C-alpha cells in the first residue's frame, strides 16, 4: 500500500505533490483532506471498507513559494539536453557533462555553461573553446523550467492513475 501514489491538490485544486496511500488515508481520516477521485482499490479494516483515493484535496490552502529552481546536477543536465550530445547529436552512449567555456579559462559551472556530451566529443574538445576545437553547439544551454506535471508522470504508478490525474495536471497529452 505504501508504494501507491496519490495526487495531492491544494485547496484551489492546483497540484502540489504526490504522496503514498498511507499518508493520504491519514490526511482523509483526520479531516485535513477530502477525497476527490477514488481508485478501484479498496482498503479494509475490521469495521470498515475504505476506497483508496487516487486524488485528494487539502482542506486548507497551502501557500507555496514560487520556485523555478531546478537542482543543478548531472541527471537534470542530461534531462534538459534530451540525453543527447550537444556537439554531435549522439544518443544512447555513455554521456558526461562538459563546460562550454572551460573552467581553466574562467568558465562557470552554471546551467548556461554546461552541456551533455559524449565521451568522444568531450575528449576532442578537451580544455579548448568551441572555436579552437572546431565544434558547434546544437542548442545553446539554458536554465531549465520543468513542469510539476512532468515530474508526476515519471512516477512508477503514473500510468495506472494517469486518467484520474489528467484533469488536474496542466498540458498532459492524452496520448500518454
Domain-embedded: residue 34: yes
Domain-embedded: residue 138: no
Query: How many domains is the chain built from?
Result: 2
Can you give the CATH number for the domain in which 94 is found? 1.10.30.50
Q: Are residues 79 and 114 in the same domain?
A: yes
Q: Are residues 62 and 80 in the same domain?
A: no
DSSP character string of the chain: -TT-EEEEE-TTS-EEEEEEHHHHHHHHHTTSEEEEEEEEEEEE-SS-EEEEEEEEEESSPPP---------SHHHHHHHTTTB-TTT--BSS-EEEEESS-GGGT--SSTTTEEEEEHHHHHHHTTS-HHHHT---SS--------HHHHHHTSTTHHHHHHHHHTTSTT--TT-
Q: Are residues 81 and 113 in the same domain?
A: yes
Q: Does residue 128 have a pLDDT over 90?
A: yes
Domain-embedded: residue 175: no
Q: Does residue 173 have a pLDDT over 60?
A: no
Domain-embedded: residue 171: no
Q: Are residues 53 and 84 in the same domain?
A: no
Question: What is the chain's mean pLDDT, rounded?
Answer: 83
Q: Are residues 124 and 152 in the same domain?
A: no
pLDDT tens per residue, range 73-116 = 998 899 889 899 999 999 976 899 999 999 999 999 999 999 99
As a whole-number percent, the residues of the chain with pLDDT over 90 amount to 49
- Give the global pTM: 0.52
Q: Are residues 56 and 13 in the same domain?
A: yes
Domain-embedded: residue 176: no
Domain-embedded: residue 21: yes
Q: Which of 30-44, 60-74, 137-151 has the lowest mean pLDDT?
A: 137-151
Please give the residue range of the domain that contains residue 93. Answer: 74-133
Q: Are residues 157 and 120 in the same domain?
A: no
Domain-embedded: residue 46: yes
Domain-embedded: residue 154: yes
Amino acid at each position: 500500500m505504501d508504494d501507491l501514489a496519490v495526487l495531492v491538490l491544494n485547496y484551489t485544486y492546483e497540484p502540489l505533490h504526490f504522496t503514498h496511500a498511507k499518508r493520504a488515508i491519514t490526511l482523509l481520516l483526520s479531516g485535513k483532506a477530502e477525497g476527490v477521485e477514488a481508485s478501484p482499490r479498496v482498503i479494509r479494516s475490521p469495521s470498515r471498507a475504505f476506497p483508496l483515493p487516487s486524488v485528494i484535496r487539502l482542506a486548507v490552502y497551502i501557500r507555496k513559494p514560487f520556485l523555478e529552481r531546478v537542482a543543478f546536477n548531472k541527471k537534470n543536465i542530461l534531462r534538459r539536453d534530451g540525453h543527447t550530445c550537444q556537439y554531435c547529436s549522439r544518443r544512447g552512449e555513455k554521456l558526461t557533462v562538459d563546460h562550454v567555456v572551460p573552467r581553466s579559462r574562467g568558465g562557470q559551472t552554471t546551467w548556461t555553461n554546461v552541456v551533455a556530451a559524449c565521451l568522444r566529443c568531450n575528449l576532442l574538445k578537451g580544455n579548448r573553446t568551441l572555436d579552437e576545437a572546431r565544434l558547434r553547439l546544437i542548442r545553446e544551454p539554458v536554465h531549465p523550467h520543468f513542469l510539476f506535471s512532468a515530474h508526476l508522470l515519471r512516477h512508477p504508478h503514473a500510468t495506472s492513475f494517469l486518467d484520474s490525474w489528467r484533469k488536474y495536471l496542466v498540458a498532459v497529452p492524452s496520448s500518454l
